């Protein structure tokens, strides 16, 4: 295995692992959106964030949107693993999705700090996971441009 | 056998084709990068802007004209504390009928009886019906700590949106408090630490002990009246005044 191959596999694995963590976080955030009794929050004020008017887009909880994003990135990781010939297209799609998610995450973090005046540790974790996937996918996207 | 000029010509054509292919590949890469970034930014901006067009929020917070303006007030008691008649409301910030009273009737009561010194008007929490009721009541008590009970009281009733629908989440209560002009670091500390949770609970228990079975319940000089609009309240106050 060449150094270049190891490097290529490396960022794909990082994305897949971060997406798996994101799925777990997204499932938990979705559960506590509907059942705040299940909320465990040792840092910040998750209750205020989870019940704020910004926790939904219309009828859709933001937690579900995040979960869908992580599931999509996870699925892309899986397909990319099984179908290397589609890597280029899938990496472009994955990069675009996670870039959108990162921009939206930054906006949500701004709301937590400046509008809601409360921080939710699980939301911060999600923002950090999204940033990690953005860096990983950005690296892969940049590399495939040659 | 080709002559040197033909060979040179073929070589030049190959170079031109190669350069053309390189230019196309570069254009494709640029298109991919610009396309991916543009799509991502459009999606992110849509997610940010769409809710602000009236999707998820409850719109702009309406700030009430303080009913206490120009009147003596002591916390949740409005008017002269030594007024001959004492009117007490046991209310719940999520209760729609309390909202109707606060928005439509309260000003008449203040004009006719509180401003004239005939009666004082006290609001007591009877918070039931969910967390948002308790949190809104606690928020009004936190505003009371800053001497702005009535501004908060009136503004809360002006911003009712159903029961337990998110109108009085803690985050929303903080937005309302900010609109009312409270010191936000003090207010956040008060609300987040549940400083008045016990007070709200005690007030609600006291309301039940006083005989209140629902909201709004009115007491005139310690006696619960049968309230069905301003006329019934007027009649009870006039009777207490001996008119």
pLDDT tens, position by position, B183-217: 999 999 999 999 999 999 999 999 999 999 889 99
pTM of the predicted model as reported, rounded to 2 decimal places: 0.55
CA dist B77 and A115 (Å) reads 32
Average pLDDT in chain B: 90
Burial string for B175-186 (b: 16+ CB within 10 Å, else e) reads bbbebbebeeee
Interface test with B, best of A55, A117, A123 (most B CBs within 10 A): A117
Q: Which residue has the higher pLDDT, B9 or A40?
A: B9
- Distance from the B172 Cα atom to the nearest Cα atom in chain A, whole angstroms: 6
What was the ipTM of the complex prediction? 0.83
Strand partners, A56: A61
Give the end-to-end CA distance of chain B in Å, rounded to a whole number: 129
Dmax (CA) for chain A in angstroms is: 51
DSSP SS3 for A1: coil
pLDDT recorded at residue B69 = 78
| Cα separations in angstroms, B60 against B36, B53, B175, B185, B235 | 35, 11, 10, 22, 38
**Residue A8 pLDDT more than 60?**
no
Test A141 with B48 for CB contact under 8 angstroms. Answer: no
Strand pairing report for A56-57 and A60-61: antiparallel
Cβ-based interface (< 8 Å): residues of B facing A: 29, 32-33, 36-37, 39-41, 43-45, 47-48, 50-51, 55-58, 166, 169-172, 174-175, 184, 188, 192
DSSP string of A39-55, one letter each residue = ---SSB-HHHHHTSGGG
Give the pLDDT confidence of A104-146 residue by residue, as tens digits: 999 999 988 877 677 888 999 999 999 999 999 999 999 888 7
Give the pLDDT confidence of B114-153 residue by residue, as tens digits: 999 999 999 999 998 788 899 999 999 999 999 999 999 9
In chain B, % of residues over pLDDT 70? 96
Strand pairing report for B85-91 and B119-125: parallel
For residues A56-79, give the mean pLDDT: 92
In chain A, % of residues over pLDDT 90? 59
pLDDT recorded at residue B130 = 82
**Sheet of B119-125, strand order:** B73-74, B77-78, B119-125, B85-91, B217-220, B223-225
For residues A80-85, give the mean pLDDT: 92
Contact B73, B154 (CB under 8 A): no
Give the pLDDT confidence of A93-105 residue by residue, as tens digits: 999 999 999 999 9
pLDDT recorded at residue A5 = 57
Give the pLDDT confidence of B19-35 residue by residue, as tens digits: 988 888 888 888 888 99
């Amino acid at each position: 295995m060449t150094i270049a191959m190891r490097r290529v596999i490396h960022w794909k694995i990082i994305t897949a692992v971060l997406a798996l963590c994101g799925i777990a976080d997204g499932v938990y955030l979705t559960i506590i959106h509907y059942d705040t009794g299940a909320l465990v929050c040792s840092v910040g004020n998750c209750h205020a964030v989870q019940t704020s008017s910004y926790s939904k887009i219309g009828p859709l909880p933001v937690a579900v949107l995040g979960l869908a994003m992580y599931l999509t990135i996870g699925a892309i990781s899986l397909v990319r693993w099984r179908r290397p010939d589609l890597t280029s297209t899938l990496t472009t799609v994955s990069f675009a999705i996670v870039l959108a998610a990162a921009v939206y995450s930054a906006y949500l973090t701004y709301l937590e700090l400046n509008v809601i005046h409360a921080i939710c540790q699980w939301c911060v974790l999600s923002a950090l996971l999204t940033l990690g996937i953005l860096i990983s996918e950005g690296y892969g996207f940049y590399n495939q441009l040659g | 056998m080709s002559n040197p000029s033909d060979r040179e010509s073929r070589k030049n054509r190959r170079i031109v084709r190669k350069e053309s292919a390189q230019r196309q590949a570069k254009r494709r890469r640029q298109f991919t990068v610009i396309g991916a970034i543009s799509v991502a930014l459009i999606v992110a901006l849509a997610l940010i802007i769409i809710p602000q067009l009236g999707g998820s929020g409850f719109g702009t917070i309406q700030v009430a004209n303080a009913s206490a303006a120009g009147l003596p007030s002591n916390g949740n008691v409005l008017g002269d504390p030594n007024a001959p008649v004492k009117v007490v409301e046991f209310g719940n910030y999520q209760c729609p009928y309390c909202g109707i009273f606060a928005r439509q009737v309260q000003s008449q009561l203040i004009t006719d009886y509180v401003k004239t010194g005939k009666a004082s008007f006290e609001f007591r929490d009877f918070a039931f019906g969910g967390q948002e009721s308790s949190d809104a009541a606690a928020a009004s008590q936190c505003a009371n700590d800053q001497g702005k009970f009535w501004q908060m009281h009136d503004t809360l009733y002006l911003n009712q949106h159903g029961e337990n629908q998110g109108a009085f989440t803690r985050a929303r209560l903080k937005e309302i408090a900010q609109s009312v002009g409270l010191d936000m670091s003090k207010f956040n500390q008060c609300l987040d630490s549940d400083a008045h949770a016990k007070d709200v609970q005690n007030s609600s228990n006291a309301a039940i002990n006083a005989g209140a079975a629902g909201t709004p319940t009115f007491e005139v000089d310690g006696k619960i009246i049968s309230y069905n609009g301003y006329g019934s309240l007027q009649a009870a106050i006039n009777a207490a005044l001996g008119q």
